[in-house]
Structure 1
Amino acid sequence: MHLEYTHDSDYFFFSQLLMRHIESYVRKHPDADNAIFDLRDIYEVFREDFAATTTNLESILNIADSYKVETLNGDQALIKSYKIDVKNNSLLIDFNTDALNSLRSGQPLIEPDPSVHE
């Protein structure tokens, strides 16, 4: 059975919101190598869309971890890994060090191409 996503644009929209939130977090916390976000905060970032914060969060993160930053070693993904901790109602994100340093030095996020994303 092949299941088509009917809300691809919503996933890309929410991943964009999440990445802008992460970008802001990185600028406010220049010493952080990872981030822990309360899912209630993510709920607010997603403009109180409950489905985006629960059922669709994994799909949104799948797109978000495709965002890259230009580094001296080529374009690298900003998010190295993530974990949704349901028990503690949090999202744990580990960053790629090279990409994180490039983002801090002013390099922009490189968005994934939605026309080739699976």
Structure 2
Amino acid sequence: MHLEYTHDSDYFFFSQLLMRHVESYIRKHPDADNAIFDLRDIYEVFREDFAATTTNLEGILNIADAYKVETLNGDTALIEKYKIDIKNNALLIDFNADALKNLKSGHPLIEPDSSVQE
């Protein structure tokens, strides 16, 4: 017997939760060009799913950094770079300036196509 089991849909679900949290953060902090989230807060965003906050976080972030915003230079990824800081229990995110500006001005986030992700 051969069983295939995948968590791909969970990764997309958690990346969606994370990006909605990021959008909320940007609305509350309009002058921010980066964000630092305590991993305990991310744990709550992920509805206390420990695996999503630890083992699977890198995979979730790989999807989250594919979210884009329309800019004059075409669709541009909102997340320019990120770092998981285990020592300080934090997630650091740097935003692309053009994408961030357009998101703040009302352009929506463009979700990645789940059918073409690996």
TM-score w.r.t. length of structure 2: 0.95
> In structure 2, the residue corresponding to 1:92 is in which secondary structure?
strand
Alignment-derived partner of residue 99 in structure 2: 99
Q: How far apart, CA to CA, are the structure 2 residues paired with 1:8 and 1:76?
A: 23
Alignment-derived partner of residue 61 in structure 1: 61
After superposition, give the CA deviation of every residue in 1:89-113 in whole Å (9 maximum; x if it has no partner). Answer: 0000000000000000000000000
- After superposition, residues 13-92 of structure 1 pair within 5 angstroms as 13-92=13-92
How far the C-alpha of 1:73 sits from its partner, in A, is 1.2
| Letter of the structure 2 residue corresponding to residue 28 of structure 1 | K
Q: How far apart, CA to CA, are the structure 1 residues paired with 2:80 and 2:53?
A: 20
Q: How far apart, CA to CA, are the structure 2 residues paired with 1:113 and 1:87?
A: 33
After superposition, give the CA deviation of every residue in 1:33-86 in whole Å (9 maximum; x if it has no partner). Answer: 000000000000000000000000000000000000001111000000000000
How far the C-alpha of 1:6 sits from its partner, in A, is 1.0
Instruction: Count matched residues.
Output: 115
* Percent identity for Structure 1 against Structure 2: 86
Unaligned 5+ segments in structure 1 are none
TM-score w.r.t. length of structure 1: 0.95
How far the C-alpha of 1:5 sits from its partner, in A, is 7.0
How far the C-alpha of 1:87 sits from its partner, in A, is 0.3
Alignment-derived partner of residue 116 in structure 2: 116
Q: How far apart, CA to CA, are the structure 2 residues paired with 1:92 and 1:34?
A: 8
| Letter of the structure 2 residue corresponding to residue 89 of structure 1 | N
Unaligned 5+ segments in structure 2 are none
